[in-house]
C-alpha cells in the first residue's frame, strides 16, 4: 500500500489551504459538500487523522467516523427530503478511490432518479452553500 500523501486535496481542506462548504466539524471529523455532486446534497465525511483509506485507519478512528456518518446521513435525508441514501467508500485506485484520504460519500437518492454522471463539472457555489445550510439546519433540529 502506498503511503499517505499530505498534499492530497482533503488534507489541504483540513489545513485550510483549499476552501470547502462545511456541513459539520468536531475534533475528529469534517464533513463538507462534494463540489462535483452526483445528487443535490451529496456530502463527504473525512477523519482529521491521517488515513489513506479504510485499510490503514485505526479501529477507534473508524468507529467514531462511522458514527458521525450515520448522524449526518439522517440529517441529509431529512434536509434533502429524499427517499433514501447511498453511502459509498472506496479503497485504492482499483477499488475506485480517487482522493487518497479516507472518506465516505453520503448521496441523497430519489426513487427512480439515477445518479448524475461524473462529468468533472463543479456545482455552483451558491447551490452548495444553500444545501449545506439545509443540512446544518437538519442537524440542529
39: left (phi over 0), alpha (psi -120 to 50) or beta: beta
Q: Clarify whether 103 is annotated catalytic.
A: yes
> What's the Cα-to-Cα distance from 16 to each of 3, 46, 51, 114, rounded to whole Å?
22, 14, 18, 33
Q: Position of cell 454522471?
A: 117
Cell of 69: 456518518
List the catalytic residue out of 42, 101, 103, 105.
103
Instruction: Return d(Cα 119, Cα 67) in angstroms, integer.
Output: 31
CA 64 to chain CA centroid, Å, is: 15
**97-110: buried (b, 16+ CB within 10 Å) or exposed (e) per residue?**
bebbbbbbbbbbbe
Give catalytic residue positions: 103
Amino acid at each position: 500500500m502506498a503511503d499517505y500523501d499530505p498534499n492530497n486535496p482533503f488534507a489541504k481542506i483540513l489545513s485550510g489551504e483549499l476552501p470547502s462548504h462545511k456541513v459539520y466539524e468536531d475534533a475528529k471529523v469534517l464533513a463538507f459538500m462534494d463540489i462535483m455532486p452526483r445528487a443535490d446534497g451529496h456530502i463527504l465525511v473525512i477523519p482529521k487523522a491521517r488515513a489513506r483509506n479504510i485499510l490503514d485507519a485505526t479501529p477507534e478512528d473508524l468507529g467514531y467516523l462511522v458514527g458521525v456518518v450515520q448522524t449526518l446521513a439522517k440529517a441529509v435525508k431529512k434536509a434533502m427530503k429524499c427517499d433514501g441514501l447511498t453511502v459509498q467508500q472506496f479503497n485504492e485506485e482499483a477499488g475506485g478511490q480517487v482522493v487518497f484520504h479516507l472518506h465516505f460519500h453520503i448521496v441523497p437518492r430519489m426513487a427512480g432518479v439515477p445518479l448524475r454522471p461524473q462529468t468533472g463539472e463543479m456545482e455552483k457555489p451558491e447551490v452548495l452553500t444553500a444545501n449545506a445550510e439545509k443540512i446544518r439546519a437538519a442537524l440542529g433540529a
